[in-house]
Structure 1
Amino acid sequence: MTAPRQDPLRDPRFFTDPYPTYDRLRESCPVRRIPTGSGGHHSYLITGHAEAREAFTDPRLSKDTARFFADRPSNRDLHPAVSRNMLASDPPAHTRHRRVAAPLFTTGRVRALRPFITRVVEDLTATWHPGKEIDLVAELAVPLPVTVVCELLGVPEPDRRPLAAWSHDLFDATDTARIDVASHRIGDYLTRLLTTPHTDSGSDALPSFLHACDQGGLDQDEAVSLAALLLVAGHETTTHFLGNAVLALLRHPEALDRLRRDPDLIPGALDELLRYDSPVSVATFRHSTEDLRVGGVDIPSGFPVLIAPGAANRDPAAFPDPDRLDLDRDAGGHLSFGHGIHRCPGAPLARAEAEIALRTLLTRFPHTRLAVPADSLTWRRTRLTRGLAALPLVLG
């Protein structure tokens, strides 16, 4: 098995449509060594569904980035709150963080949030009317999850817009300096938020979060890192989930018409929409701590391992005819939220936000259409997430 000569995940065509690349790599071998970045570095990319599920639960694949880079020189300057969060740790540290995060997203907690989510969607769409041209990303897909997660953390309303902008910069794969600056702005802001008394906020969200962190044994730096993760991961992926889902439906009129005629089918359609165009294309960093074998391929110790849910969700061995959006498909085995102990705890909240937003769009504006040709849309240039820079629509 020979590695490609160039990083296939940096090809401009990959950002527009990663699935031909994923198909080619998977057909050759579902676990491939590929060049990543510059300087002759290599990683192992996992594109098969069965292999991805196996890798997600293998304890020999560590998420402790500090451990990996301890003896490797780096010119990066990420804020510790961003570089050392729950997603960049293994048990027992990961277990302590997750024990605090999980109660924020229980079924009961999300059910209680649904009226608030509905009000946010209604406020964001209050000025919409048939014939109006909107950018779904800027006017709904970004502000909705930002508003909800900021409400959970007690972030004052005037601070929410800059936080969303910094989070956007954090996923800019083309400019590492910009990423580092954004990480410090987020980390510094959240440090001030969590350490400055707010006696007149009128909300108990922040005190409740701080109390949960204290009860869970998290120190101040760990509380800041957890808040940063909830903020960034809690809105970026949901933004792409909603944008990708709307575009997929607009490009599949029969599926769109079914949901327009019966909006109660929307909750059951979410798994297939997540599978079809996953908002997480490549999962966050892992590295091998010892020699292991995945999918019949030997992975030596000390290598980065990239698990690609976007590729696994299109594996024909798991999902027949995977390039077709099929609302009748049992897509519950998709890996868009991950798998194992690192599965996204915020999945119930993301699903609720997407369901409420889609229901509003399809019931109030059932004849909405793309304002531009689909092939002219611009996609974010990042291999980690897959999402649109903008989604211009004409409401109808």
Structure 2
Amino acid sequence: MAVQDPGTTQADSELLDLADQELIRDPFTAYTHIREREQMVRGRVPGVDPMWVATRHADIRTIMSGPAFTIDATTVPGGAVAHRTEQTWQARGMYAEHEKYLRAGIFDSDGPDHRRLRGLVTAAFSPRRVAALRPRIKAVATHLLDRLPDHAEDGVVDLIEHFARPLPITVICELIAVPEADRERWRARSATLTAGVCGDQLGDALAGMVADAHALVELHATRPGNDLISDLLAPHHHDRLSTDELVALIVNLVVAGHITTVNLIANSTEALLTHPDQLALLREDPTLMPHAVDELMRYCGPVVRALPRYAICDTTVGNTPVRTGEAVLPIVSAANRDPAAFTDPDGLDLTRTRYSREPHLGFGHGVHRCLGAHLAQEETAVALTELLARVPDLRLATDQEHPRRGSNPVNWHLTSLPVRLEPRIPAGE
């Protein structure tokens, strides 16, 4: 995985291959030698124009919140700039008629449009509203754990398929009132979009989800209820969303609103089971859980890289000059193991944020910090609390040296998590 000196005219063979299996397999340590360089490197993704690759914690904080960068390529002055996110989805198989939903989405907007879109939904994901959801999240988790032994074969069950995946998709579907009969279809399509597949398989999944989102808007417009989408359709909103914006919001909420949590629950469970000292610490002191979830997001969070940012003027990132219109790709997983930001960055320390606040970038930073961060943290805390209480002797039932990981270069995730169950503790005991 050789990397040569960066330059804006490098040949493809000289660019960092962001689809390199070494980077996908272990993005936390594979970027180390790149992070240690004095300047950023340039990287490539098949079908996408080259980008600068940022790996340092301080640099990425600047890129995510500094005035010299925007997430919306269309706002760069001086001419058209290649929209790397759009190029990525096109290369993966997105059909042309669905490109407009990328442009209408909250994730790819900036300035007034972003403030308008985010302002409409921020309250639904506030700490207070999320805390009110905790009893329901716990009830869903308890129900899934009750059924877990029914799915076991010789005492072994896939914790992702039967616990980590159905928990957050149930919660997000209830928030936007997806009919229960349709939820498995939404879950399957969302899983396809985040699995790293390409071609018609991805194009069809996205097309199906867009069609379902349109149908959901029509349903709530004619039969409003006590849910987020019905609220956004209500007349009292002065800053109304267009249909395209609402459909894009629904797709983003379902995909981003559950897949990060699925993978965080799974990655966290594996990390705890392979760090018995930290697991014992958490069992001894359950009040440590919020700090544990925060540290687990830093240590083994599923978000490898954030959306590209574009320079709106000539600037510098660290020691690297960046020209107007050039794209910079933040590698979050590398930043979260940066020794310049964290003491013993490669160690798992569940007490880390109890004594010192070293903010990780797993949920982003600045105005584009993940809208659903509080919900993801709450769901993960409840999931781990209930799982460890109900299955006190939980242990891995797979080769710890070769876990079953997916090939998506954006999401660091397990494809399955076989665990061995011991006799369960009934709920309430």
Q: TM-score, normalised by structure 2?
A: 0.85
8 Å CA contact retained: 1:66, 1:84: no
Unaligned runs of 5+ in 2: 7-12, 423-429
1:386 alignment partner, one of 412, 417, 424: 412
Q: Is 1:161–2:181 an aligned residue pair?
A: no
1:27 alignment partner, one of 24, 27, 36: 36
Q: Is 1:238–2:247 an aligned residue pair?
A: no
1:372 alignment partner, one of 394, 398, 419: 398
Question: Quick one: which amino acid aligns to residue 126 of structure 1?
Answer: D
State the match for 1:334 in structure 2: 360
Q: TM-score, normalised by structure 1?
A: 0.92
1:234 is displaced (CA, Å) by 0.5
State the match for 2:155 in structure 1: 132
Unaligned runs of 5+ in 1: none
1:27–1:237 Cα change, 3 Å: same
1:30–1:340 Cα change, 3 Å: farther
Question: Quick one: which amino acid aligns to residue 141 of structure 2?
Answer: V
Q: Is 1:52–2:75 an aligned residue pair?
A: no
Q: Is 1:120–2:140 an aligned residue pair?
A: yes
The correspondence of residues 92-107 of structure 1 with structure 2, limited to 5 A, is 92-107=112-127
8 Å CA contact retained: 1:153, 1:209: no
State the match for 1:63 in structure 2: 71
1:10 alignment partner, one of 11, 19, 39: 19
2 CA distance for matches of 1:212 and 1:285?
Answer: 35
SS in 2 for 1:128: helix
1:72 is displaced (CA, Å) by 5.2
Q: Percent identity?
A: 36
1:289 is displaced (CA, Å) by 3.0
1:273 is displaced (CA, Å) by 0.7
CA-to-partner distance for each residue in 1:95-140, whole Å, 9 max, x for gaps? 1111012101112211111111111111111123497322111111
1:311 is displaced (CA, Å) by 0.7
1:225 is displaced (CA, Å) by 1.4
Q: Is 1:346–2:372 an aligned residue pair?
A: yes
Question: Quick one: which amino acid aligns to residue 390 of structure 1?
Answer: S
2:95 alignment partner, one of 74, 77, 99: 77
SS in 2 for 1:86: coil
SS in 2 for 1:178: helix
Give me the CA root mean square deviation: 2.5
1 CA distance for matches of 2:235 and 2:302?
Answer: 29
SS in 2 for 1:88: coil
State the match for 1:263 in structure 2: 286
Q: Once superposed, which parts of structure 1, at least 4 consecutive aligned residues long, lie more than 6 Å away?
A: 198-202
1:380 is displaced (CA, Å) by 2.1
8 Å CA contact retained: 1:276, 1:314: yes
State the match for 1:37 in structure 2: 46
CA-to-partner distance for each residue in 1:180-207, whole Å, 9 max, x for gaps? 3322211111011102357678754542
SS in 1 for 2:36: helix
